[in-house]
Structure 1
């Protein structure tokens, strides 16, 4: 029996499974699928590069020779903003694909923004897509949520240390 995808009117690049495969292989989003060690290393790289921008800004307010602790804390917090922005982009991208895969209907455009259509997925496609969501995408979203929580904890600790100085 042939798969129902062959009868799918949705253009190939707008089919949720193909959008998922494309997202999974793109340079930024693929990093969130790595092992915890490699994922954490990538987050540290983003934090480090963001620190190169945040450091001079922090030095303008807190000269490192005089206020080294405030300089370090403000540089770390400023660099964290770069990490947060990247994480928000990752989360929104994965969340969008999750919604497209989980939905029983697929909205698509045939030739432009003015002629949108809706396709109702057959049951076998719905089941396949929901398995992908459960076993592939939910763990990625949970990892990103855990990273957000970790950053919030780091910001909280930094704030406490700032007030104790």
Structure 2
């Protein structure tokens, strides 16, 4: 039935195609698979930042004299990169979710100056709604939990740094 619908939206700007592109992207595919792949990627980004953040924190005379606080401060600061990566992924997936749930599609034929809106037929809306609910919503939920965990680790580490 979709073959009968004449769609003026360029293929790369269709919500389902945007979903496919995000799913196949190296960066945005982290939360689509196993939870362990997202955790592993975030752990690697944290570990890459840990030596740099600890080195920067060692510039503080107060922290240099207190090695446990220095390590905790470096570990907390290194959580900023994973948190920023999660926020960027959340923004991308939220954009696709919005496009899938929308009843119309905003698109550009050749540039920013000729924006158009096309009303999705009922069959497209139904298909997009199913993808949004069963594919994108779990991804956003996983990202939300990961962001909450990273923020909690930052707050807990900052509290630990104060307590030491």
Q: Which shows bigger deviation, 83-92 or 48-57? A: 48-57
Alignment of 1:15-26 (within 5 A): 15-26=14-25
Alignment of 1:55-94 (within 5 A): 55-61=54-60, 62-63=63-64, 66-94=65-93
Is 2:73–2:158's contact at 8 Å kept on the other side of the alignment?
no
Residue number in structure 1 paired with 2:46: 47
Relative contact order higher in (CA < 8 Å, ≥ 6 apart): 2
Superposed CA deviations along residues 13-70 of structure 1, whole A, max 9, x for unmatched, are: 111111110111111001111211222111101111122321211121222xx32111
Q: Which shows bigger deviation, 129-138 or 67-76? A: 67-76
Q: 1:5 and 1:145 mapped to 2: Cα distance?
A: 39
Is 2:31–2:37's contact at 8 Å kept on the other side of the alignment?
no
Task: Tell me, yes or no, if structure 1 residue 115 matches structure 2 residue 97.
Answer: no
Deviation at residue 159 of structure 1 after TM alignment:
2.3
TM-score after normalising by structure 1: 0.93
Q: 1:138 and 1:110 mapped to 2: Cα distance?
A: 29
Q: Which structure 1 segments of 5+ residues have no match?
A: none
Q: 2:4 and 2:117 mapped to 1: Cα distance?
A: 15
Residue number in structure 2 paired with 1:164: 163
Deviation at residue 156 of structure 1 after TM alignment:
2.2
Q: Which structure 2 segments of 5+ residues have no match?
A: none
Q: 2:156 and 2:106 mapped to 1: Cα distance?
A: 44
Residue number in structure 2 paired with 1:134: 133
What is the number of equivalent residue pairs in this alignment?
162
TM-score after normalising by structure 2: 0.93
Q: Which runs of 4+ in 1 moved over 6 A?
A: none
Q: 1:133 and 1:38 mapped to 2: Cα distance?
A: 22
Question: What is the root-mean-square deviation in Å for CA atoms of aligned residues?
Answer: 1.4
